[in-house]
Amino acid sequence: MKLKGFYFAGVIDALSKNSTRGFTPVTLRNLAQEYPAVSPTRNEQQFQVHNIGERLGQEKVREILCRYGEGESARSLAQEYGVAPSALVRLLRENNVVVRRKVVSPETKALLVKEYEEGATVAELEDRHQLSHGSVLRALHNAGVEMRPKSPRPLR
């Protein structure tokens, strides 16, 4: 903490018996009066509303429900509205919408297996084929692919 050239550690040093600065109780009192303590107030706008329905508003929620009903994917809608796909799926379920699971065609499944065995990562396959993590993993597991071990995570 810094107060106009004084560090908090400097104030502690000034209060110690070994101080060479020559602060007296009067100068410390004057310093404290010059810089009154500021109590931090909680700014409610710095916190984001967790409920996606409240955050987006009724108009956008109706638009999402309509567009999902017309066939758009939850993933593309989530990306467009800047929310997590899982939050958007939860919003759909809260509004009694039956969530579709994207069925991976046999051709796509064969392509996923081929690309994975050639060295593509699951994340690359998700992006390349616009599939969720679960869809890619299910397709690979159902095809009998032996998964590569995960790389070790760096220690913090």
Q: Would 124 be classed as within a structural domain?
A: yes
Tell me the backbone φ, ψ of residue 53, rounded to 5 degrees: -65, -40
Q: Would 136 be classed as within a structural domain?
A: yes
Who contacts 3 (Cβ-Cβ below 8 Å, separation ≥6)?
11, 31, 35
Q: Please count the other Cβ atoms lying within 10 Å of the Cβ belonging to residue 95.
A: 13
Asked if residues 150 and 122 have their Cβ atoms less than 8 Å apart, the reply is no
Beta-bridge partners for 7: 2
- Does residue 36 carry a pLDDT above 70? no
In terms of Cβ atoms closer than 10 Å to its own Cβ (0-12, 13-18, 19+), residue 73 is: middle
Q: How confident is the model at residue 29 (pLDDT cuts 50, 70, 90)?
A: confident
Q: How many CA atoms lie within 13 A of 92 on its CB side?
A: 24
How many structural domains comprise the chain?
2
Looking at residue 8, its amino acid is F
Range of the domain at 87: 50-94
More confident: 121 or 32: 121
pLDDT computed for residue 66 by the predictor: 92
Q: Would 129 be classed as within a structural domain?
A: yes
Q: Would 6 be classed as within a structural domain?
A: no
The mean per-residue pLDDT over the stretch 30-42 comes to: 60
